[in-house]
Structure 1
Amino acid sequence: MILFVKLLLAHLLGDFIWQPNAWVVDKEIKKHKSIYLYLHILLHGVLAAVLAGEIRFIPYAVLIAVIHGIIDIIKLNFQKEKNKRTWFVVDQIAHILVLIGVVMIYQHNIIINFWQDNAFWILITGLLLLTKPTSIFIKIIISIWAPESQNSHQDNSLIAAGNYIGILERLFVFGFILTGHFEAIGFLLAAKSIFRFGDLNEAKERKLTEYVLIGTLLSFGVAILTGLIVQSLLLQLL
């Protein structure tokens, strides 16, 4: 675990702290022809080797640097202005997965049989249930109460922001339950109520207030129920 933490630190230093904006701009313009791309790759390799602190890790540091460069080249050649955010997320996830893979290989822990790990499947099912499936379920349930003026308020909102907020709050509640921090759920609900108060007060519509309240309670209710069920199933595996 400590090796992964060190490699993650090396990645953060190389990709964010010690990468000037001038390098980023030059890479986006010249792509694989940019000298800064290769300096960036070299920096990642050096940082991984130095922070790992073991001479025998040097070949693995070279492997990390090479794969990092390949991922960056793919991103630079396929990203456009309209999909930069998507490629940034994909790029970072790919780099993290590479670090995890290298750590597993280095520590001779290559095979992890997820297919026979019941706890893994229970957790994954619970997590996925609280994302889009629950959003659709709640949307269908409360659609009969949707106020007509709701659409007028969406014009001033971020696209699909409400959906993502709902998913995040359910995942937070799920995590709080599994870690035994039930008091944090009350804090999260209170924080959301405070932020929503201004919007609802401005709307001055009882129907909209009730509509939002029903959606919030359903969201928290499903998250709490799912968390308790998953927690119970995990305890049975012990």
Structure 2
Amino acid sequence: MFEIPQINLKDKVSAQEWQTRVDLAACYRLMVMHGWDDLIHTHISARIPDSEHILINAFGLAFEEVTASNLVKIDINGNIVDKECPFEINPAGFTIHSAAHEARHDDLCVMHVHTNETIAVASLEEGLLPLSQYSMFALASLSYHGYEGLAVNHEEKLRIQEDLGDKNFMLLRNHGALTMGKTIGDAFMHMYDLTRACQIQLQVMATDMKPIYAPQSIIDGIKVQANIVHTGKTGGETAWPAMLRRVYRKYPDFAD
């Protein structure tokens, strides 16, 4: 059995980096809790605030094995910063993330999933439809990227960046979904909303009944309404402390 190298970086990095590590490791555990993980594939990456360095999962670890300390610190080109790091990353898997981080420097977190629901809706010509309140949030800031096979072509990065633009939600055709966030909590809540929207759309379509579509005016005003609900905070800021408590209860080792 492969033994995971045990390291503890809590007192060896800045407080800001450690908090980013804790939040990111929690997000990986939330992926497991929601059934969004895909064996050892897909990634969540986060830029360390006031830094050009990015944290990402070690390739080969299941998401329930990710901890704050075994996240790997890399530069924008995917080079591991700590030469004594006992882990590797998946260079091909970082293509999408590096494209997003390069284009959106103020957004600290990029989350990418291969869930059945997001792949299914991304594979529909119509894409996401205005069928639920969850879809309103995504449709207010949604883009699409066409399928180009495995993300190993460096030239695809430019097309990802052009398609992403200033949007916080992206459906990758035949592939999955991506969300952006100024915090890890924001990226998580964006993915939660997008996933629920896709799940509900598929359930509505399965009824074979005529659906009711929400008007464009609701989509256009949803951000203002959400700002009122969250009293000036983002959904991620409001929900993230509760999500952290949930992870601490189920996986207390994630913050090691």
Structure with the larger strand share? 2
Asked whether the two chains share a fold, i.e. TM above 0.5, the reply is no
Higher relative contact order (CA 8 A, sep 6+): 2
Structure with the larger helix share? 1
TM norm structure 2:
0.22
TM norm structure 1:
0.23
Rg: which structure is higher? Answer: 1
